[in-house]
């Protein structure tokens, strides 16, 4: 491929080669650059499989089954998940359209509202949350792998008796093995992630439906639709709406950086189609499985399970146990890559575009996810609640600010090439590369979001903290934003790269 055909200077095979235009190498590399429209490969099915994997994650099952334990019956759980699905469908379309139009990942998208340098703030907040959960989810998957190894080789149980830095020998073997698998997959870029998600989606759906049918058979083809402590009246409706709000909050990270994936989408229609089948409809299937698993187990012995893993451990047939464990491992790896691996990769790329590419940033992210010893984080309620919970609470205001600026202030008019120039008169230079109005709005609304999330006085509205944070973030930003314009709408095609990374 010649230099003339790509519009790149220096060696076009290098990651740090930049277009021969007013583009700064401190803001641009081949992973941060906008993707060309021609050659994008993420269609409706690929968007659907993202949700086919993520919706059916072990964490989501634990949350939904928890609603059963908190006093919601079958139809109430379906209603809560359905409401949450409708909210998410709308929010994800708004976020996804941004990626499809501009072709840029979330850290670059953040430059629109926060400035070319100020964008490091939202990118690093999102990346820090993701990198911690990458390690934690890998640890939770390693627990399933340990169960599978002991089922296949009972003598391996002796390797589970010691401890080093919080894990047994078998625990370390399981964790490092899964860590390596994920690093290998992600090192091949977004195209390999697309293929893996497409493979994993049907596997997960078939496995969870099969597990639900098996449990239904064990319960004589009947389930308990509620527990004796079921809520009624106003308390019931408050918990239903609160459950829907918390369901959206679980995806607060993903609605923020959904553009990391939709920058490769073939069209807006493919995003809508993939989101429709993958969110509201898929969530109703998910809800049906939850009700079946929890209700059948409660009918059998009056016990409320915490996760599908509780059921898998009790599968009497070794072959079926191993197959179920493999499916859960495939699921957890799929969820981890899309929800917790891609975001820090782009955040680090945005921080060091001269020195990092997708593969190098993936390795750095994975190493950080290992050295923080995530099992210790998971076993520390204070860390989960105050550190990760605090960072998570800030994501609502971030979403509100980014969305308000893009859709309401600029009316989706974006000068994509200007996102990559460090010229002091650039459209997104603001004050030395930082938009102080966005920073002020973020600080004010983050304080409000943290107070709502952690102060006992706000317990009654704590379930709605993400919506409160996002709404207040949007309102405060609109109050201080510079709306004078004019806002240019310029395509990024002249500096775009092929959608193959």
Contacts of 253 (CB under 8 A, 6+ apart): 126, 129, 130, 339, 343, 392, 395
Handedness of CA 26, 29, 34, 36 (dihedral sign): positive
Two tokens, residue 307 = 């996760």
Question: 311-327 burial, b if ≥16 CB within 10 A, otherwise e?
Answer: bbeebeeeeebbbbbeb
How far is residue 98 from each of residues 93, 129, 188, 234, 261, measured CA to CA in Å? Answer: 9, 22, 25, 39, 11
Q: What is the pLDDT of residue 383?
A: 65
Q: What is the pLDDT of residue 382?
A: 67
Tens place of pLDDT per residue across the chain (501 aa) = 333 333 443 434 444 445 555 889 999 999 999 999 999 999 999 999 889 888 887 778 878 888 887 888 888 989 999 999 999 999 999 999 999 999 999 999 999 999 999 999 999 888 888 888 888 889 988 988 998 898 889 999 899 889 899 899 999 999 999 999 999 998 888 888 888 888 888 888 888 888 888 888 888 888 888 777 777 788 888 888 888 888 888 888 889 889 999 999 999 999 999 999 999 999 999 999 888 888 888 888 877 777 676 777 666 777 777 888 888 888 888 888 888 888 889 999 999 998 988 889 999 999 999 999 988 888 776 666 666 566 677 889 999 999 999 999 999 999 999 999 999 999 999 999 999 999 999 999 999 988 888 888 888 887 888 899 999 999 999 999 998 888 999 999 999 999 865
Residue 250's CB: how many other CB atoms inside 10 A?
Answer: 20
Q: Are the C-beta atoms of 472 and 482 separated by less than 8 Å?
A: no
Q: Are the C-beta atoms of 304 and 298 separated by less than 8 Å?
A: yes
How far from chain centre, in Å, is Cα 448? 24
Q: What is the pLDDT of residue 12?
A: 41
Residue 221 burial class via C-beta count within 10 angstroms: exposed 0-12, middle 13-18, buried 19 and up = exposed
Q: Are the C-beta atoms of 428 and 27 separated by less than 8 Å?
A: no
Two tokens, residue 258 = 């959904």
The pTM score is 0.86
Q: What does the longest C-alpha to C-alpha distance in the chain come to?
A: 73
């Amino acid at each position: 491929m010649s230099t003339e055909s790509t519009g790149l200077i220096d060696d076009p095979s290098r990651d740090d080669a930049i277009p021969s235009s007013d583009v700064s190498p401190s803001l641009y590399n081949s992973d941060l650059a906008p993707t060309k429209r021609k050659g994008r490969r993420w269609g409706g099915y690929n968007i659907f499989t993202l949700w086919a994997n993520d919706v059916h994650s072990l964490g989501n099952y634990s949350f939904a089954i928890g609603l059963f334990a908190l006093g919601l019956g079958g139809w109430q759980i379906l209603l809560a998940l359905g409401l949450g699905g409708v909210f998410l469908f709308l929010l994800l379309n708004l976020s996804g359209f941004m990626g499809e139009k501009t072709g840029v990942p979330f850290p670059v998208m953040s430059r629109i509202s926060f400035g070319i340098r100020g964008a490091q703030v939202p990118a690093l907040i999102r990346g820090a949350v993701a990198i911690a959960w990458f390690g934690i989810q890998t640890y939770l998957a390693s627990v399933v792998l340990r169960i599978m190894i002991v089922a296949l080789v009972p003598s391996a149980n002796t390797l589970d008796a010691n401890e080093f830095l919080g894990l047994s020998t078998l625990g370390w073997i399981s964790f490092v093995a899964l860590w390596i698998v994920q690093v290998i997959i992600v090192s091949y870029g977004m195209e390999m992630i697309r293929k893996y998600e497409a493979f994993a989606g049907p596997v997960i759906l078939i496995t969870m439906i099969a597990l639900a049918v098996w449990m239904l058979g064990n319960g004589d083809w009947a389930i308990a639709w509620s527990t004796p402590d079921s809520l009624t009246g106003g308390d019931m409706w408050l918990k239903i709406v609160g459950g829907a709000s918390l369901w959206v909050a679980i995806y607060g990270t993903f609605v923020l950086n959904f553009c990391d994936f939709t920058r490769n989408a073939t069209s807006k229609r493919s995003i809508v189609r993939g989101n429709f089948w993958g969110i509201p409809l898929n969530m109703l299937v998910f809800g049906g499985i939850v009700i079946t698993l929890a209700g059948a187990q409660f009918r059998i012995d009056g016990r409320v399970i915490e996760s599908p893993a509780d059921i898998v451990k009790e599968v009497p047939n070794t072959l079926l146990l191993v197959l179920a464990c493999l499916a859960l491992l495939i699921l957890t790896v799929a969820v981890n890559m899309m929800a917790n691996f891609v975001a820090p990769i782009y955040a680090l790329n945005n921080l060091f575009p001269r020195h990092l590419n997708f593969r190098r940033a993936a390795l750095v992210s994975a190493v950080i996810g290992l050295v923080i010893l995530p099992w210790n984080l998971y076993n520390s309620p204070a860390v989960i609640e105050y550190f990760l919970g605090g960072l998570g609470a800030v994501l609502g205001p971030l979403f509100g600010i980014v969305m308000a600026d893009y859709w309401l202030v600029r009316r989706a008019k974006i000068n994509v090439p200007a996102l990559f120039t460090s010229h002091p008169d650039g459209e997104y230079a603001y004050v030395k590369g930082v938009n102080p109005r966005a920073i002020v709005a973020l600080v004010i609304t983050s304080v409000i979001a943290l107070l709502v999330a952690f102060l006992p006085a706000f317990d009654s509205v704590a379930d709605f903290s993400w919506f409160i944070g996002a709404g207040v973030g949007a309102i405060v930003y609109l109050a201080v934003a510079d709306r004078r314009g004019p806002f240019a709408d310029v395509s990024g095609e002249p500096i775009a790269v092929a959608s193959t990374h």
